[in-house]
Amino acid sequence: MRVSTALVRLYPPAIRERWGSAIAEEVGRAGPRSWLNSAIGAGRLWLHPGDWPETTEGETSRVVATALVAVSVVLTLWLRAAGVGSLSATVDRPASSAWLVPILAGFALATPLPRRSGLGRLVTIVIRTLAAPALSFGFLCLLANLGAFDHPAGVTRVLFVGCYWATLFFGGIRICVLVARAGRVVVMPSAHRLHIALLLVATGLAFAAAQSLALALRTSFDLGSVMLICALATSAAALLVTGLDLRRRRP
């Protein structure tokens, strides 16, 4: 694959469809000195959906919603790997779980609504997209209930841990695929709703980053906590910028 083609794939879908060939031609003409600027430009455009052309009805909302789910999946896996630390998501610990409230509210606003005429297609898409990860999770649960995960060692432990994380990653990817596919048969949220939803999720992530930072200051910093705080803060900033930019689109 040519570098120019790979760089074009970094751009939002609407940009690729409208100007992808022109971008690839320009990058190919400019050579390696333009590669970094092209990648940075693609990243900036992801933060400014107000600049995207609407090549199909609801495309911007569908792409933004899918990107929101993708960011959430990555952060969820990161939290699972790093440990929640000062963060929790239980009713009996409301103070340390408050960061989750605006995030759940944001996702409620960003949730698309099914169409009556497309309900059958939606069910078909859900089954086809999630059948494989559901079977994988079911297999892992079966092994756990049979005691296969009790005190594994050596190669067996490495194999089980690898299968566990591979299943989580696979499930996360398929969830993102589901949102992208289902977005064509449901009523996507308006730009105004997505604007508020992204601001709410960004607020929750900012609270989570501040809470994790406060704990690290009271105890001690380590590489894992620093990386987690940076990931939460960066994601919050990116969603905030994107949400504010969505105000430029008509509802």
94 or 91, which is more confident?
94
Predicted confidence at residue 150, as pLDDT, reads 65
Query: For 183-210, what is the mean pLDDT?
Result: 91
Amino acid at 60: T
Q: Is 152 a residue whose pLDDT tops 70?
A: no
Q: Tell me the pLDDT tens digit for each residue of 158-167.
A: 888 888 889 9
219 or 62, which is more confident?
62
Q: Is 250 a residue whose pLDDT tops 60?
A: no
Predicted confidence at residue 88, as pLDDT, reads 64
Q: In whole angstroms, what is the distance from residue 5 CA to residue 32 CA?
A: 13
Predicted confidence at residue 55, as pLDDT, reads 72
Query: For 67-92, what is the mean pLDDT?
Result: 78
Confidence of residue 176 (pLDDT cuts 50, 70, 90): very high
Predicted confidence at residue 228, as pLDDT, reads 84
Q: Is 82 a residue whose pLDDT tops 60?
A: yes
pTM of the model: 0.85
Q: Tell me the pLDDT tens digit for each residue of 40-55.
A: 999 999 999 988 988 7
Q: Is 221 a residue whose pLDDT tops 80?
A: no
Maximum alpha-carbon separation in the chain: 60
36-42: long-range pairs with CB below 8 Å, 24+: 38/7, 38/10, 39/7, 39/10, 41/11, 42/7, 42/10, 42/11, 42/12
Q: Is 91 a residue whose pLDDT tops 70?
A: no
Give burial (CB, 10 Å; 0-12/13-18/19+) of 35.
middle
Predicted confidence at residue 177, as pLDDT, reads 92
Predicted confidence at residue 50, as pLDDT, reads 87
**CB-based contacts of 160, cutoff 8 Å, min separation 6:** 143, 148, 149, 152
Query: For 199-204, what is the mean pLDDT?
Result: 96
Confidence of residue 12 (pLDDT cuts 50, 70, 90): very high
What b/e sequence results for 213-251 when a residue is b if at least 16 CB atoms lie within 10 Å of its CB, and e otherwise? bebbeeeeeeeebeebbebbbebbebbbbbbbbbeebee
Query: For 15-35, what is the mean pLDDT?
Result: 88
Confidence of residue 77 (pLDDT cuts 50, 70, 90): confident
Q: Is 125 a residue whose pLDDT tops 90?
A: yes
Q: In whole angstroms, what is the distance from residue 231 CA to residue 72 CA?
A: 11
